[in-house]
Amino acid sequence: MPLLRIDDIHLSFGGVKAINGVSINVERGSIHAIIGPNGAGKTSIFNCISSVYKPQRGAVYFEDRKLTGMKPDHVTHLGIARTFQNIALFHHMTVLDNLMLGRHQFLKRGILAGGIFLGPARTEEIENRKMVEDIIDFLEIENIRKKPVGTLAYGLRKRVELGRALALKPKLLLLDEPMAGMNLEEKEDMARFILDINEEWGVTILLIEHDLGVVMDISHRVSVLDFGVKISEGEPAEVANDPRVIKAYIGEEDDFLREMEAR
Amino acid sequence: MKEILKTHDTFPKLLVRNAETFGDRKVAMREKEFGIWQEYSWKEYHDHVKYFSLGMVSLGLAAGDHSDASFVLAEDQEQVDKILDMKEQLPKVRYIIYSDPRGMRGYKQPFLLDFKEVENFGRELEQRDPGLFEKNVARTNYEDLAFICYTSGTTGFPKGAMLAFRNFLSMAANLMEVDNKFGKDEFVSFLPLAWIGEQMMCLSSALLTGFTVNFPEKPETVQENIREIGPSIMFSPPRIWENMTSTVQVKVMDASALKRRMYNWALPVGYAYSDAVFRKEAIPPLLRLKQKLAYALVFRALKDRLGLLRIRSASTGGAALGPDVFKFFNAMGVNLKQIYGQTEISGISCIHREGDINFDSVGKPIPETEIRLSDSGEILSRSPSVFLGYYKNPEETEKTLSDGWLHSGDAGYFTKDGHLVVIDRVKDVMHLNDGTRFSPQFIENKLKFSPYIKECVCLGNQRDFIASMICIDYPNVGKWAESRRLSYTTYTDLAAKPEVLELLAKEVEKVNATLPETTRVRKFVPLYKELDADDDELTRTRKVRRAFVGERYKHVIEGMYAGEEAIPIDATIKYQDGKTSRLRTTLTVRNL
């Protein structure tokens, strides 16, 4: 049984068909990538998974529970966390506070107990802080623990956002262009983190990424979208040689073609 | 301290003694991890040593095994990788032991062991052979080889200096007679443990007195962690003190006008006060009052920010520290002392005495240490701390220890009041064509006091004039550029800006004004990259390796002396992961 099952979803905004009958199975423990030209519907799929959008037809299932129609915060409760294409962090809060906020939904004590910081509320806070410190150690961001996110460089913010998603202790992590706008060194670090999260923490990863070098290197499986339709799926090598994929990209992204050929 | 040495004369014996005396009641070490200072008591320290050493014994480590090492300890995956890369050249290595298992899941080699696994082997061996550890400890002797400490290699390839327990412990005990340390002291260790300075603090001194050694969380958090601990003793090479000075200078530039004025008023007061103390003059009451005010308003806060508020004894060593930096710290009330020593004498042979600080000198010899000068002016020393010799290098040993004295290779002289002054390395003292003698290091230290100059190399041996290659301080010059709305992309780009060239020219001229006419810097060129220990241009303690740098930048140097205005560069830059990239730019020579 796949961990996540996207079953023939259709989504349109007025007359624009963003997703036109896409089905994808994400296997437990895998790194699965979704690629495709701009406007292919990749981020819309993420929004359908986290139940921000409701597809007009079809549904998304996580561990055989139907996500479609659920409230977005319930989806996170089930163990799905995500990062965004444009970083979504609180800029005036410190890195630590942003990560602690990621644990917010697990806090069971109320305002009063938390305010007095006694007994169970205290124990709870310490437990959560421990978890967050594990993440800080894992992502090697000790030196910026107390810095406001707004003062950090872009690459670091991306890392903090990943940390915030990890703080949810997800079973499935949705990464929307985790490497966009990064330099080579930052990309390599990020690729390392993604692999470590997958292999050491056993988190299943679904990612959207434009850097095809990275996608082909780290993914177990790749789905290719074009104009809201899945045109190919398979292991990276298979996809790279699929004539439909090459055709979809001709004239639009020569880089893609060249890169594919180089492989 | 020497009393203790009569009964406990080796590191293991001292460790056992400390574990018995302090047990779980006193912290031996702290390391910051997961945002918390994790503490290890003397008992825990002892137990780790016990089981780890037994573990290695069970894997076949025998007494007398040392270099040509069969065991390698590596911190993490990155370090393990380095050893695996050269494993074929290390046929004697049987086990590689790592302490941080992160990222090691994919490594299946049977010779890779987790630190904890080895401790478990030790526990098993303890079951089979109880009392073995105690027997091993008892077998250690004062005269035994304790450690092979590699010299930093400022002047050539590193050499393995063999040091006995006697060397280490007599040095520590003698030093304490003139610069005492106590069990309640706090020390922060943030430099490579392979450096003799760290060995002498973290091992000999800490074991002898039982003070607490603190390890920071990450290299990037050192400054923050020092402030959290508030150490009472500190020993660092000049680089660290220089960094602190330039941090302060830059932060002051960013501060509000009121704060800036307070600082600019207080600093000269501090200088005047410390100058009077250095000259051992009576301090005028007005100056005393001003100093009190300056301390209350500025220096106390400054010390606190730097984490130096509780410093009782601070010293610098390993290379010469510019007098300006020296004065700076003494002005704000940190009694920074210069030490002198070398790996071959287990660390320290001279230190300033309390209240007898002269920032041109390195102080007086510690007890049981004789120092004299050879006919050529080389500093020679003799003490119980002089090493046993270089490992597998009798030729160098013979040269360094000829006629019973340790030859330092440093040129120096004694002042009238018995202070030793070190000029420079004997072979680094340079001569211009007209015969003028000068010490490049002396000029470099003056230049490096500028917040905009991170590193520089002065040239001029057998030339007509002195020229210099300068590495800008990237963050500080970057900040300066931003405040002038000067855009730049990379280090190379910033260093090549004509505005930056003028900024540097002003800084060099300031220094030139303090130098004699004959030894002024006539030309300089800003380099396109920072000097880096990874490129073999600096030692790990950040000293410039002149020969190497001279060879590498040969055409830059020749260009400057040939009178070229612009020097084209076509260099290959090597990154840490082994990738290379090509860099093309032009360096502009600035005449003064």
Residue B367: pLDDT band (50, 70, 90) is very high
Contact A200/B at CB under 8 A: yes
Nearest CA in chain B to A197: B103
For residue B428, pLDDT over 70 is answered with yes
Distances in Å between the Cα of A21 and the Cα atoms of A7, A14, A58, A66 are 8, 16, 8, 17
Structure token digits, residue B347? 């660390």
Q: Do B34 and A140 make contact, defined as CB atoms within 8 angstroms? A: no
Q: Do A142 and B36 make contact, defined as CB atoms within 8 angstroms? A: no
Q: How far apart are CA A245 and CA A250, in angstroms?
A: 9
Distances in Å between the Cα of B330 and the Cα atoms of B131, B245, B340 are 52, 12, 18
Residue B191: pLDDT band (50, 70, 90) is confident
What pLDDT sits at residue B312? 92
Structure token digits, residue B68? 């040509």
Which residue ranges of chain A lie beneath pLDDT 50? 251
B31 contact residues in A (CB cutoff 8 A): none
Q: Do B34 and A130 make contact, defined as CB atoms within 8 angstroms? A: yes
Q: Do A133 and B34 make contact, defined as CB atoms within 8 angstroms? A: yes
Other C-beta atoms closer than 10 Å to the C-beta of B301 total 16
Contact A140/B at CB under 8 A: yes
Residue B354: pLDDT band (50, 70, 90) is confident
What pLDDT sits at residue B67? 57
Q: Do A137 and B33 make contact, defined as CB atoms within 8 angstroms? A: yes
Tens digits of residue pLDDT in B291-300:
999 999 999 9
B103 contact residues in A (CB cutoff 8 A): 196
State the number of CA atoms in the 13 A half-sphere of A215 facing the CB.
31
CB nearest to A199's CB, from B34, B105, B224: B105
Q: How far apart are CA B203 and CA B209, in angstroms?
A: 10
For residue B53, pLDDT over 80 is answered with yes
A127 contact residues in B (CB cutoff 8 A): none
pLDDT > 70: what percent of chain B? 98
- ipTM (interface predicted TM): 0.70
What pLDDT sits at residue A213? 83
Average pLDDT over residues B76-82: 90
What pLDDT sits at residue B467? 92
Among A143, A146, A185, the strongest candidate for a mutation testing the B interface, having the largest count of B CBs within 10 A, is A143
Contact A196/B at CB under 8 A: yes
Residue B284: pLDDT band (50, 70, 90) is very high
Contact A143/B at CB under 8 A: yes
What pLDDT sits at residue A262? 63
Q: How far apart are CA A4 and CA A66, in angstroms?
A: 10
What pLDDT sits at residue A148? 95
Does the pTM of the predicted model rise above 0.90?
no
- Chain A / chain B CB contacts < 8 angstroms: 29
Question: Strands (DSSP E) along B344-400, which ranges?
Answer: 350-351, 364-365, 370-373, 378-382, 389-390
Q: Do B35 and A140 make contact, defined as CB atoms within 8 angstroms? A: no
- With a CB-CB cutoff of 8 Å, which residues 162-191 of chain A face chain B? 188
What pLDDT sits at residue B125? 95
Higher pLDDT, B428 or B170: B170
Tens digits of residue pLDDT in A123-133:
888 888 999 99
Average pLDDT over residues B397-424: 87
Nearest CA in chain B to A133: B34
Average pLDDT over residues B427-437: 81
What pLDDT sits at residue A161? 93
What pLDDT sits at residue B261? 94
| Mean of pLDDT over chain B | 89
What pLDDT sits at residue B185? 95
Contact A127/B at CB under 8 A: no
B261: Cβ–Cβ under 8 A, 6 or more apart, which residues?
none
Q: Do B217 and A133 make contact, defined as CB atoms within 8 angstroms? A: no
What pLDDT sits at residue A263? 60
Among B31, B78, B217, B573, the strongest candidate for a mutation testing the A interface, having the largest count of A CBs within 10 A, is B217
What pLDDT sits at residue B450? 84
What pLDDT sits at residue A260? 64
Q: How far apart are CA A226 and CA A248, in angstroms?
A: 7
Q: Do B218 and A137 make contact, defined as CB atoms within 8 angstroms? A: no
Q: Do A140 and B36 make contact, defined as CB atoms within 8 angstroms? A: no
Among A132, A134, A142, the strongest candidate for a mutation testing the B interface, having the largest count of B CBs within 10 A, is A142
What pLDDT sits at residue A88? 84
What pLDDT sits at residue A94? 94
Range from A208-212, B210-214, B465-469, B472-476 carrying the lowest mean pLDDT: A208-212
